[in-house]
Chains A and B, each alone.
Chain A
Amino acid sequence: MSISINSVSKAFGLYPAVNNVSLTIPKGDFAALLGPSGSGKTTLLRLIAGLENPNQGRILFNGIDYTDKSVKERKVGFVFQQYALFKHMTIFENVAFGLKVRPRKSRPSKQQIHEKVFELLKLVQLENTAARYPAQLSGGQRQRIALARALAVEPEVLLLDEPFGALDAKVRQELRLWLRELHQKLNITTVFVTHDQEEALEMADTIVVMNHGQIEQIGSPEKVYNDPANSFVYSFLGRVNEFRGDSIPQELRLNEETAGYIRPHEIVLSRTALDTSSPSEVIHVHTVGSAVRVELKRLDTDDILEAELSTEKYRQIGPLIKGEMLYADFSRMVIFDDDRPNQAKVSNKIVTAL
């Protein structure tokens, strides 16, 4: 089922959670709503599910207006952040719930329900938990049961709210791959909410970057990462160094307010000076997996910045120690001329948080 959102707004009191958002998610797509907390991504997801009603705008499924339809009529599968499993029911009863509450006419027989539940438990690889209660399962297992329960009603749209938010890093990684595979197998239009750019880049076909209740950019992971629409998207999708004023090469500077951005791995470090490079002092060096992160102080402008090298490159350049002098080249710095003033502020915050 394809989803179209046409100029949808939703406010809580005076706070505009979603502000005039339009978006189309094609059938079978795997889309991520990505943004910081308070960006309106969860509200948008709940609007699609019908758990919230929009103040304005229309929501269409397969081109048919569903704005005024109830949650029940929308036939969406929803996976809650905290899973919301029924504590007092066994896993079997949890998964069977959606089938058991159907009106008598369309309710499957006991035997059919039994088969369907075990088919789903098999799909999420948890057949042996049927008789247990949610409290007896681990976080990752609960997550998969929540998914099985949502799939039991054969939804045409699957909506997941921060599906991996409450899990530890290793389980999260496993589940990401698993969910991706599951989507390939079932091919249900899937929308998930996340604040983790890595998660979005790794899993989604389409990324919808949100901020302040609005969409900043929609595109494939490659598109939003390599060709960000503005400084917010650029900053949010990866580690970034931000520069202002004299730190930006003269030819890039549009006005006083211009901010320049460069990702750590785009800074070229060398031991010899080039005409465009600036002398920088090594403050700290640490290894992260296959990369080496070098914290530097630019001597010409006193900016503190972070550069990233592959271990291979690091070996070429030789071991770096604190206080050592290097030359850093910033020629891949980018600027955004379409920045709204309030956004510059936001990007600023993100950079200092690094």
Chain B
Amino acid sequence: MYVKAAADKKGNLVPLMRKWVLILISLTFVGVFILVPLAAVFFEALKKGIELYFLSLTEPDAWSAIKLTLTIAAISVPLNTLFGVIAAWGIAKFEFKGKNILITLIDIPFAVSPVIAGLVFVLLFGSQGLLGPFLEAHNVKIIFAIPGIVLATIFVTFPFVVRELLPIMEEQGTEEEQAALTLGAGGWQIFWRVTLPNIKWGLLYGVILCNARAMGEFGAVSVVSGHIRGLTNTLPLHVEILYNEYNFTAAFASASLLALLALFTLLLKSIVEWKSIKKRH
């Protein structure tokens, strides 16, 4: 904004220079805020040698955190995918009252701070919570246990798939489905043969983002998990605990796993994007 104004004041500033100034600013910004920290994570993790790096990842508590993180993602991502497809299908292909309210509700996890999301579950299912006595009486443990972490993760990653699919489905309209209908196809046949192939790239994209967030979520999970080592500690929580204990190498080793996941996700995302663009032409 500032650069633009300065250029306009001078009036005859060469556009080429403006271009390079803008590119330089962006590069500096990306460098300082993204590349340097990312490099620092790997640098700190590997500072004391590769042996210690692997040791801190295979140590039982770290290993259990990794397994838990994978488990949580394996439960919440498919559920949100299923829900996302159903909701996007319903919203995009049918007209009904309260449609806009539903769309707004789906966006709530994006708008609300994850910590508050976690807190809501504690207030609902915690021992002091609304349903607490009932759950305790039936010996069901949700808060400070895996079900709570799954719930919090599902809540936080709820909108990714729907949000990704909605515009695609709305753009495609319902004509192909109607055509399939007139050709004698049933509901499932239409979904598998017509709708799903048309949305598959968008769906994959949404699933990738949903998965990245499910594995990386800290705030909501932190509130409901109870940080029980080897039991309810996910990878992001594990990083925090290690860091607070001044166990920097181990903390950064675990953090590097999350960073690698992020890089891998970005790579997948780019491939999917590239494929879906190619498909369209």
Contacts and interface: CB of A to CB of B under 8 A. Distances in A.
Interface of A: 49, 51, 71-72, 75-78, 80, 82, 84-89, 97-98, 101-102, 149-150, 152-153
A88 B197 contact: yes
A75 B183 CA distance: 8
A51 B182 contact: yes
A97 B193 contact: yes
A51 B182 CA distance: 8
A99 B140 CA distance: 52
A80 B186 contact: no
Interface of B is mostly: helix
A97 B198 contact: no
Given A84-B178, A153-B184, 16 more contacts: A51-B178, A71-B182, A72-B181, A72-B184, A86-B179, A86-B194, A86-B197, A88-B198, A89-B197, A98-B184, A98-B185, A101-B183, A101-B184, A101-B185, A101-B186, A149-B179
Interface of B: 175-176, 178-186, 189, 193-194, 197-198
26 contacts: A49-B182, A51-B181, A72-B181, A72-B184, A72-B185, A72-B186, A80-B178, A80-B179, A84-B178, A84-B179, A85-B176, A86-B180, A86-B194, A87-B176, A87-B198, A88-B198, A97-B185, A97-B193, A101-B180, A101-B183, A101-B184, A101-B189, A102-B184, A149-B179, A149-B183, A150-B183
B184 A84 contact: no
Contacts, number: 59
A76 B193 contact: no
A102 to B, nearest CB: 7
A84 B176 contact: yes
A157 to B, nearest CB: 11
B198 A84 contact: no
B53 to A, nearest CB: 45
Nearest to A46: B178
Contacts of B194: 86
A88 B184 CA distance: 19
Given A80-B175, A87-B198, A88-B198, A97 B182 contact: no
